[in-house]
Amino acid sequence: MACARDKAAPRGRCGRSSAVERFFGAKFRRQHPVEKYIADFACVDAKLIVEVDGLSHTIPEQVEFDAERDRVLGENGWRVFRVKDSDVLSNAPVIAAKIEQALMNPLPPLGGRGQGEGGAPAERD
């Protein structure tokens, strides 16, 4: 399935362009406002955000911004699951299984990129 813009292709593969998607029975909202941010995909019921990150998320300033964003969202009860856009395209079944696992086994909110509460590793793939 090809998307109109290459830039949007990984997000398009995760969910069609409609505002609400169903994934393993969970309702995800695309480009959903959460706190002062816009989440790529948000499941409000599970308080789970799925972020599809491109190469720009490896730039030090963006890494710092993402860590602060994840911290703020975590403090407000949200879990953030980050996935590389290239993995969405090349490993969609694996990514889908990990999202399903996050939906089925809710963990405490994360305290920021790379480290969750109590030193637990962040949900990132």
According to the model, what pLDDT value does residue 125 have?
A: 59
- Neighbour-count burial of 6, counting CB atoms closer than 10 A to its CB (0-12 exposed, 13-18 middle, 19+ buried): exposed
Domain holding 44, by residue range, is: 6-114
Examine residue 123 and state whether it is found in any structural domain, yes or no: no
What lies within 8 Å, CB to CB, of 99 at 6+ separation is 23, 24, 48, 50, 81
Total tally of structural domains belonging to the chain = 1
Examine residue 125 and state whether it is found in any structural domain, yes or no: no
Examine residue 119 and state whether it is found in any structural domain, yes or no: no
Q: How many CB atoms lie within 10 A of CB 67?
A: 16
Rounded to an integer, what distance in angstroms lies between the CA atom of residue 102 and that of residue 110? 12
pTM for the whole structure? 0.70
Examine residue 120 and state whether it is found in any structural domain, yes or no: no
Examine residue 73 and state whether it is found in any structural domain, yes or no: yes
According to the model, what pLDDT value does residue 25 have?
A: 81
Examine residue 124 and state whether it is found in any structural domain, yes or no: no
Examine residue 1 and state whether it is found in any structural domain, yes or no: no
Are the CB atoms for 88 and 10 separated by under 8 Å?
Answer: yes
- Neighbour-count burial of 50, counting CB atoms closer than 10 A to its CB (0-12 exposed, 13-18 middle, 19+ buried): buried
Out of 21-30, 33-42, 95-104, give the one with best mean pLDDT: 33-42
Examine residue 90 and state whether it is found in any structural domain, yes or no: yes
Question: Tens digits of per-residue pLDDT, 39-92?
Answer: 999 999 999 999 999 889 989 999 999 999 999 999 999 999 999 989 888 988
Q: Can you give the CATH number for the domain in which 16 is found?
A: 3.40.960.10
According to the model, what pLDDT value does residue 15 have?
A: 45
